[in-house]
Amino acid sequence: MKVTVIGTGFVGVVSAAVFASLENTVIGLDIDEKKVSSLKQGEVPFFEPDLEKLLLSQQKLGHLSFTTNYATAIPTAEVIIIAVGTPSNEDGHADLSYLYASLDSLAEHIKDDVIIAVKSTVPPGTLMAVEKYLRQRTNKNFELASLPEFLREGSAVEDTLHPDRVVIGVDSEEAFQKLRTLHQPLTNTILKVKPSSAQMGKYSSNAYLATRITFINQIADLCEHNGADIEEVIAILGQDKRIGSHYWYPGLGYGGSCFPKDVRELARYSQEVGESNNIFNKIHELNEDRIPKLLEEFGSKVGGWSGKKVAVLGLSFKPHTNDMREAPSVRIIPKLLAAGAHIVGFDPQALTSAPYFLKSHPQLEYSSDIAAAIAEADVVMALVEWPEIINFDFESVVYTKPQRLFIDARNQFEILALKKAGFKYQGIGRTYAD
């Protein structure tokens, strides 16, 4: 099948490479010339396991190419997949300007009977608006579909090759059959639903996971008041089949490029349709308040942040990616600097993206060596469960500060080992005597 993917960011480039690996002829189209030029050379401009290898092999086989030119990428396409960004506006609205700009550019080039599938996360009702918009710009026949994406950065290739489900929101049976044929090699779990259900399903999925994170953070905070250990509480919860033991992450709250913006959009949408008494506003508010609240609590344990040396381990929003969009580090580091702390940041992959995301803080130091980053620290703050950080031998370092606090923001470390290394331990929702 001839497929063009518009937007070769995290989602688009993975989809393009995976569809190419299924022997489709795929063109990745982006307006970012720098990005396209590096993709043409087989270089992925961000870190994602297994992607570069797949990209190179598919380009060599001639299944995959990249361009910035709508006039060459659109007329041949049987299926166009739109995967441009839909970031949050200041008021929480999903910014659909990239989506509409892509429609403006593609309209004059489409051929009859093309299927245009919107993979970008967009609010319910958007597909109807897109249909009206495109009909005003072309006389060609086309079918629209909603094709929400559920991949996780850090395991994006694996998730796309083996999705839990593929959701196809369509009105037309013909369009469904074509998109089903495209996805059939990936899974048998293909759900045909209304376009609005597909969009609601995507928002609900992210909002539910964000709610789960917020819920366990609230329980963790209560544990701090009574000596309970949140990890033991999770073990109890997990044995209940109605609840399950997976996806419990007490910590600093949710971040990344999707959860914060999708919860905000759902809150805004609820408000717009008159459902103003909803949990989404509260989830967003609790998540926003979490880092300031915890920083104040942690700061009180070291006599305030002023003049303290803090090693921040893990700058990406989660392991196995260098994406720092809404990462805890991006919210924490400016606050610590403003409070007078000196910061050294370490990350196995995100040292390349950190100077961009934290560009207004030139005083921030970076180290590519954990031992060097922590040797002089008063406080070590482990924000992300990178294996390089979890498996590091903290006892092997010669420290200069006699009093040291270790903040385990993901509850991932052996408390005894850290104590042996001379740290006072501070986890989330677990209190242990020194």
Name the residues that contact ligand NAD, by CB under 6 A.
6-12, 29-32, 35, 83-86, 98, 101-102, 105, 120-121, 149, 151, 153, 257-258
H helix or E strand, kind and range, residue 190: strand 190-193
Task: Decide whether 264 or 430 has the Cβ nearer to ligand NAD.
Answer: 264
State which residue, 5 or 373, has the beta carbon closest to ligand NAD: 5
The answer for residues whose C-beta is within 8 angstroms of residue 427's C-beta and 6 or more apart is 408, 411, 413, 415
Rounded to 5 degrees, φ, ψ at 275 are -95, 65
Maximum Cα–Cα distance for the chain, whole Å? 75
The SS3 of residue 403 is coil
> 260, exposed or middle or buried, with CB in 10 Å at 0-12, 13-18, 19+?
buried
Nearest to ligand NAD of 27, 380 (CB atom): 27
Tell me whether residue 31 or residue 237 sits nearer to ligand NAD (CB atom): 31
The residue sitting closest to ligand NAD, measured at its beta carbon, is 9
Give whichever of 118 and 381 is closer to ligand NAD, judged by the CB atom.
118
Q: How far is the CB of 202 from ligand NAD (least distance, A)?
A: 7
User: Closest separation between CB of residue 234 and ligand NAD, Å?
Assistant: 25
In the DSSP assignment, the letter for residue 317 is: S
- The span from the CA of 245 to the CA of 302, in Å, is 34
**What phi and psi, each to the nearest 5 degrees, are found at residue 380?**
-110, 125
Dihedral angle at the C-alpha atoms of 292, 294, 300, 306, nearest 10 degrees?
-50
Residues 254, 285: contact at Cβ < 8 Å? no
Marked catalytic residue, from 130, 147, 258, 370: 258
Q: Which residues of 172-194 are buried (b: 16+ CB within 10 A; e: fewer)?
A: eeebbebbeebbeebeeebebbe
Please write down the HEC assignment for all residues of 271-311.
HHCCCCCCHHHHHHHHHHHHHHHHHHHHHHHCCCCCCCEEE
Nearer to ligand NAD, 318 or 430 (CB): 318
223 as an active site residue: the answer is no
Beta strands in 342-415 (DSSP E): 342-346, 365-366, 379-382, 404-408
Residue 355's contacts (CB-CB under 8 Å, 6 or more residues apart) are 366
* Identity of residue 351: L
- Which tokens is 206 given? 């992210």
Nearer to ligand NAD, 86 or 426 (CB): 86
- 10 Å Cβ neighbour count for 396? 8
Which is it for the CA torsion 147, 151, 153, 156, positive or negative?
negative
Query: Given the complex with ligand NAD, which of 295 and 327 has the nearer CB atom?
Result: 327
CB of 101 to ligand NAD, least distance (A): 4
Q: Report, in Å, the least distance between residue 86 CB and ligand NAD.
A: 4
Q: Kindly list the catalytic residues.
A: 258
